[in-house]
Structure 1
Amino acid sequence: MDYRETARGILDAVGGPSNISNMTHCATRLRLNLKNENIDDAKVKAVDGVINVSKGGGQYQVLIGLEVPKVFDEFEKLVNGSTDNEVSTQIKPHGFKGYVNALFAAIAGIFSPLLPALAGSGILYGLLLFCSQIGWISQKSGTFVILTAASKAVFYFLPILLAFSAARRFKVSPYIAALIAGALLYPDFIQLMGTHGNGAMTSFLGIPVVLMNYNSTVVPILISIWAYSYLYKWLDKHVSKDLELVVVPLVCLLVMVPLTVIVIGPLGVYGGQFVADVVNWLIKNVPLLAGVVVGGGWSFLVSFGIHWAVNPIMINNIATQGFDFICPLTFACNFGVIGAAIGVWLKTRNKELKSFSLTGVITICLSAIIEPTLFGLLVKNRKIWAAQMIAGAVGGAYLGLTKVFTNAFVFGSVTTFPAFVAKNSNNFLNAMIGLGISVIVGIILGFIVTKKDERLA
């Protein structure tokens, strides 16, 4: 794929730079806010590298796949290079719906760059546990310790990574942001807690400070960098350019580090933990319902691009507890899509649909990207989509009842199975059974609802 030509083709097809008010991207989609939404979808789909298009969350979404960051970089250059007024990469909120869209876009923009690091680290840890269990690597060896450090460093230093990513999203200095997060992990600061842990007290200029352990946390640093972005932009606007190099970082650090540890940090830790505890309580106490709802409804959330609102909860669970019960239920959805696509492949006589379905199966198995099949097949045929949802719900119900968990935040594919490896060997077995159920139910129902002369719409 020629990223620049793909970007140029998309830009021309959506009406050029003058028709774009905002732009951003997530893991697989270019997300655009258009002034005139009367766009010829077929023209956009015809661009080389474009898999599909959809509308959701108030945005025109162009599905590209995992190469979307590179396409976005070229797209941004073309847009801002051809207009006097630079187009924002952030959603400007208008009304309640606008704020919701801005929230989803911000979450996607912050977490998307970190997904490879999170997934790779999690898979490495799963493989390390597997090698340890079969006796290939001793847990007392230097090899085990080094690989453990490699796989868990991303979670310990997650606040710094999130700070850097959030700062880039909010268009402020990512290095100052990383310093703010780094201060929270500084050894001498952590030692102030002594043996008391979270809730220990100290003071700053006579102001009481509730101490918290911020390694592996998500919410506090996101709120802190959001607040810092306003301070940074105000200073950048009002401080003389001659003093900017020293004054801006000095004031940002003097204000944001104390503000974070005194106010933002404790509220963020307790607030984020409360949300996670509520979701986890539902998963643990009504696992059947949770499995049905998440496993069956995840593809619906993905179709609108709002599944990103749930991802930080999963990441927080992995970072703070080392495991997550929600992530396996998203696997059930993906494998329900695989099953439904196989059912269609077995039933239809149309060569184009057969090829499309089989390609979708291979894509999901290797990369966990369901959007091509979701938008190219399921959304267009509600019966097949319903078959997939039922398959995901049934498989999700089993995964929920057996309390299957992952030790990493990953997307559901065959290549991410190591995330189910745990000291409890039944976890992997139950995961395979649950995903097998999703596939089998998907095949059966997909086969039943597909017509022999079914075609791509």
Structure 2
Amino acid sequence: MNYKKTAVEILKTVGGKENISNMTHCATRLRLNLKDESIVDDEKVKKIDGVINVARAAGQYQVLIGIEVPKVYEEFEKAVGGNDSISDDESSKSGSVMSNIFSAISSIFAPLLPALAGSGILRGILILCVQVGIINEKSGTYTILYATSMSVFYFLPILLAFTSAKRFKASPYLSAIIGGALLYPDFIKLMGSHGNGATTTFMKIPVVLMNYNSTVVPIILSIWVFSYLYKWLDKHVTENLKLVVVPLVSLVVMIPLTIIVIGPLGVYGGELIAGVVNWSIIHSRVLAGVLVGGGWSILVSFGIHWAVNPIMINNIATVGYDYICPLTFACNFAVIGVTLGVWLKARDMQLRSFSLTGLVTIALSAIIEPTLFGLLVKNRKIWLAQIIGGAVGGTYLGLMHVATNAFVFGSVTTFPAFIMKNQNNFIQAMIGLLISLVVGAILAYLFTSRDEKLA
């Protein structure tokens, strides 16, 4: 694929940079907020080399590229002239509140997914090495590898500060300093042995102290607020004073404001959201398995699964495990099962080749979008087979309390995420995923006619 050519052709087909009010990308899609979607011909976009499919969802025009989307987006930014060429006013006015939230979530977390996934897999492998006696927990090797696998979670506020600043158009470096201040050792020492809820004062103002390592919500809220202050300062401070005044005022205002107000609200708010979700899963595991395992592909088709990802990331970062992530595995392995069933039943060589390619792609990279849009969306009976397979496998995973120790996408290569100190967790995970695969394969085989074509 010629990334530059693909980007330029997409830009031209969607109406040029004058029709774009905001743009970002996730793991597989170029996500555009367009001023006028009616002028875009979907079929012309689909014919562009490198484009797999398009979707209009969550207030965005989504162009499915696949795992090469970061390279296309880089060229797309150059063609547009960079994000700065899109005015803040236009960006803020475009789309509904919910679409803007989905867009923000995807743009904040997407750049961190490789680091989160890689660290999570390493953590699982390290747990396995300890369990089989290859590495001693008291050794220097263990400490170094543990630090390697956990640093992304510990310093998550700094990383999220940087990506949030990119999204909200504030200084990413000042934002990173705000995140870093929350993790400064002397600040953490103020809590003593009390932990969260310890108190101190700032200029005689009472301060409730929190431990912000591995937190998600506080820093995102803080940088969102900071973006308004930063833009105001950038507009009103004269050029010859900006170098000193803007960073000075930004840090003096935002760090105390975050520690006194935004941070505690964010911590308690994040804990409340995660608590409600985890409570509902624990008390209704069957329902959770059905809804997430069966419905995840529907969320992915609309591009709104990003609304759930931060909850999983927050669970992993704060408590070290998550019950939702295994249910997304059930969806992916049901898709693998469906591709297997279609491959076994169909006679059309193009369809069989597409199914086999999808099977290998999902098994190795967990990317289901090409199969989802290229096969399932076009054949609702086969999609139903996948939904049922995911729901059945998800129900089993939920009933067996299966968890992951990392936020990862469901594939064979991410199995180490199921390795926990409770060794039964891995076994039950494999059984649940096998159920999803087998049910999906059998139903797809039954629902597919031998003369089925790749539409």
The TM-score range, normalised by the shorter chain, is over 0.9
Q: Which residue in the other structure is 1:116 paired with? A: 114
SS at match of 2:356: helix
What displacement does 1:333 show?
A: 0.5
Determine if contact 1:90/1:105 at 8 Å carries over to the other structure: no
Pair 90,311 (structure 1): closer, same or farther in 2 beyond 3 Å: farther
Q: Which residue in the other structure is 1:33 paired with? A: 33
SS at match of 1:15: coil
Q: Which residue in the other structure is 2:154 paired with? A: 156
Counterpart Cα distance in 2 of 1:234 and 1:32: 26
Q: Deviations over 1:77-103 (max 9, x none)?
A: 11227x9x92259983559x6110000
**What TM-score, normalized by structure 2, do the two folds share?**
0.97
Q: Deviations over 1:397-429 (max 9, x none)?
A: 000000100000000011100000111111000
Q: Which residue in the other structure is 2:14 paired with? A: 14
Counterpart Cα distance in 1 of 2:154 and 2:37: 45
Pair 163,401 (structure 1): closer, same or farther in 2 beyond 3 Å: same
Q: List aligned pairs for 1:105-254, cutoff 5 A.
A: 105-254=103-252
- Give the counterpart letter for 1:289 in structure 2: L
- Give the counterpart letter for 1:226 in structure 2: W
Please say if 1:49 is aligned against 2:50. Answer: yes
Q: Which residue in the other structure is 2:268 paired with? A: 270
Counterpart Cα distance in 2 of 1:179 and 1:66: 31
Determine if contact 2:15/2:39 at 8 Å carries over to the other structure: no
Of the structure 1 ranges 388-397 and 30-39, higher mean CA displacement relative to structure 2 is found in: 30-39
Please say if 1:69 is aligned against 2:70. Answer: yes
What displacement does 1:345 show?
A: 1.1
Q: Which residue in the other structure is 1:23 paired with? A: 23
Counterpart Cα distance in 1 of 2:176 and 2:89: 21
Counterpart Cα distance in 1 of 2:285 and 2:93: 37
Counterpart Cα distance in 2 of 1:127 and 1:354: 35
Q: List aligned pairs for 1:357-372, cutoff 5 A.
A: 357-372=355-370
Q: Which residue in the other structure is 1:302 paired with? A: 300
Aligned length: 454
Which blocks of at least 5 consecutive residues in structure 2 are unaligned? none
Q: List aligned pairs for 1:97-112, cutoff 5 A.
A: 98-112=96-110
Counterpart Cα distance in 1 of 2:89 and 2:71: 18
Which blocks of at least 5 consecutive residues in structure 1 are unaligned? none
- Runs of 4+ deviating beyond 3 Å: 88-95
- Give the counterpart letter for 2:170 in structure 1: V
Out of 376, 379, 396, the residue aligned to residue 381 of structure 1 is 379
Q: List aligned pairs for 1:74-89, cutoff 5 A.
A: 74-80=75-81, 86-87=85-86
**What is the alpha-carbon root mean square deviation over aligned residues?**
1.6
SS at match of 2:38: coil
Counterpart Cα distance in 2 of 1:149 and 1:91: 43
Out of 391, 397, 400, the residue aligned to residue 399 of structure 1 is 397
Q: Which residue in the other structure is 1:347 paired with? A: 345
Determine if contact 1:23/1:89 at 8 Å carries over to the other structure: no
Of the structure 1 ranges 355-364 and 13-22, higher mean CA displacement relative to structure 2 is found in: 13-22
Q: Deviations over 1:212-250 (max 9, x none)?
A: 000000000000000001100100000011010110010
- Give the counterpart letter for 1:437 in structure 2: I
SS at match of 2:75: helix
Please say if 1:411 is aligned against 2:409. Answer: yes
What displacement does 1:46 show?
A: 2.1
SS at match of 1:92: helix
Of the structure 1 ranges 37-46 and 335-344, higher mean CA displacement relative to structure 2 is found in: 37-46
Aligned residues with identical type, % of pairs = 69
Counterpart Cα distance in 1 of 2:245 and 2:90: 29
What displacement does 1:187 show?
A: 0.7
SS at match of 1:185: coil
